[in-house]
């Protein structure tokens, strides 16, 4: 089977032996396609993964072979995520599901950018769903990324009608904005790129250009009775987004960190102290966040039209390149679809 493997910061297409059940429970699936995640980009750019790693985890696939206690059958078109918490350890009991050791260890084999993948019984039971016929592969491929956004929205535990600002309107920012709307929030969004601002506006996010930090501050304060935003969702990976967040969040408000930044500098201690700010991170979804994501996508409450661009597996290097150069919002790698 053909796979895309990472060697240093080079992607190579290679042939590997087909995955098989070989007596194990679970399923062998034919991958129709797989979304290219921001975390794949980070691993690629900085050579963070072991040589031979097959990246990709946002798969849509058809079941080819199965031995399972679930109701999935051969021929089912499914969407599946990659990590599963144990629900029993100290992390899980404390609500830190994505910090669970079992969560970090579980994965799809060998990875999403492959013609075939092995999914364990645990995957089928917890993080897989049968896709309704009226949804395209590309649409449902947002299942895992939207699940990450839902986890962030849940962690922020806001009140309906709260004013929130999403900084960064890439595909994740636009998904986050729509997820927040589905939870009843009053959603603002900002970015520096006009096409992204326009697309966010089309998706119901009140979006503006944040090139001028003072004007952005005035705009948010004017629209929130001179209070500021209750929560800022940081989907931008730019260092400049940090002062903007501190300028637009209300006293006593929250900043939800959802992206790495190049310089890794932090939030000012005295802002956190005097203004009673809460700065929290959110990384990866629980099965219940994924189930909510599946519901929002299949009921059309989150609309992903115009968010992704298709590439064939043979052109995966170009997909990475175009994403890094901001030529596209999000790449979807067509494999067997």
Closer CB to Zn ion, residue 7 or residue 87? 87
Nearer of residues 145 and 228 to Zn ion, judged by Cβ: 145
C-alpha to C-alpha distance for 32 and 188, rounded to whole angstroms:
35
Closest CA to 242 of 270, 273, 207, 279: 279
Instruction: Write down the least CB distance from residue 53 to Zn ion, Å.
Output: 15
Minimum separation from the CB atom of position 324 to Zn ion (A): 16
Q: How far apart are the first and last CA of the chain?
A: 15
Residues 113-172 that bind Zn ion (CB under 5 A): 144-145
- Binding part of the chain for Zn ion, among 30-38, 65-73, 165-173, 290-298 by CB under 5 A, reads 30-38
Residue from 3, 100, 182, 220 binding Zn ion (CB under 5 A): 100
The HSE-up count of residue 139 (CA atoms within 13 Å, CB side) is: 17
* Least Cβ distance, residue 279 to Zn ion (angstroms): 23
Two tokens, residue 276: 């009673």
Of the two residues 286 and 334, which places its CB atom closer to Zn ion in the complex? Answer: 286
Contact 65, 27 (CB under 8 A): yes
Mark the segment that binds Zn ion (CB under 5 A) among 29-37, 152-160, 289-297, 305-313.
Answer: 29-37
Give the three-state DSSP class for 125: helix
Per-residue tokens: 335: 């494999």
Distance CA 180, CA 98 (A): 21
Select 172 or 180, whichever has its Cβ closest to Zn ion. Answer: 172
* Measured distance CA(70)–CA(40) in Å, rounded: 30
**Member of 1, 21, 89, 206 binding Zn ion (CB under 5 A):** 89
DSSP classification of residue 109: B
Give me the least distance between CB of 80 and Zn ion, in Å please.
12
Query: Which residues are bridge partners to 47 per DSSP?
Result: none
**Residue of the chain from 36, 79, 92, 167 that contacts Zn ion (CB under 5 A):** 92
Residue 172 CB, nearest approach to Zn ion (Å): 9
The footprint of Zn ion (CB under 5 A) covers 37, 85-86, 89, 92, 100, 144-145
């Amino acid at each position: 089977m053909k796979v895309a493997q990472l060697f240093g910061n080079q992607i190579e297409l290679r042939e590997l032996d087909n995955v098989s059940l070989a007596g194990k429970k679970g399923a062998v699936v034919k991958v129709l396609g797989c979304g290219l995640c921001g975390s794949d980009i980070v691993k690629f750019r900085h050579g963070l993964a072991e040589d031979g790693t097959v990246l990709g985890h946002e798969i849509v696939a058809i079941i080819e072979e199965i031995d399972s206690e679930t109701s999935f059958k051969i021929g089912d078109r499914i969407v599946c995520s990659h990590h599963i918490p144990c629900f029993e350890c100290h992390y899980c009991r404390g609500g830190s599901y994505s910090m669970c050791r079992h969560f970090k260890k579980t994965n799809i084999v060998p990875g999403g950018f492959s013609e075939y993948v092995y999914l364990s019984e645990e995957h089928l039971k917890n993080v897989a769903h049968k896709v309704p016929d009226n949804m395209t592969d590309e649409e449902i491929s947002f299942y895992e990324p939207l699940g990450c956004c839902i986890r962030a929205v849940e962690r922020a535990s806001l009140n309906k009608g709260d004013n929130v600002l999403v900084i960064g309107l890439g595909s994740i920012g636009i998904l986050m904005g729509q997820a927040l709307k589905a939870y009843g929030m009053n959603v603002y969004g900002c970015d520096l790129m006009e096409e992204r601002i326009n697309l966010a506006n089309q998706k119901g996010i009140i979006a503006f250009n944040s090139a001028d930090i003072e004007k952005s501050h005035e705009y948010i304060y004017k629209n929130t009775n001179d209070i500021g935003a209750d929560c800022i969702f940081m989907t931008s990976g730019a260092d400049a987004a940090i002062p903007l967040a501190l300028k637009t969040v209300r006293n006593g408000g929250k900043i939800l960190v959802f992206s790495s930044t190049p310089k890794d500098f932090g939030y000012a201690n005295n802002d956190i102290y005097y203004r009673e700010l809460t700065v929290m991170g959110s990384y990866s979804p629980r099965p219940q966040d994924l189930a909510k994501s599946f519901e929002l996508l299949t009921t059309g409450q989150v609309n992903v039209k115009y968010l992704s661009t298709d590439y064939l597996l043979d052109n995966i290097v170009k997909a990475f390149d175009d994403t890094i150069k901001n030529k596209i919002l999000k790449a979807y790698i067509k494999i067997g679809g």
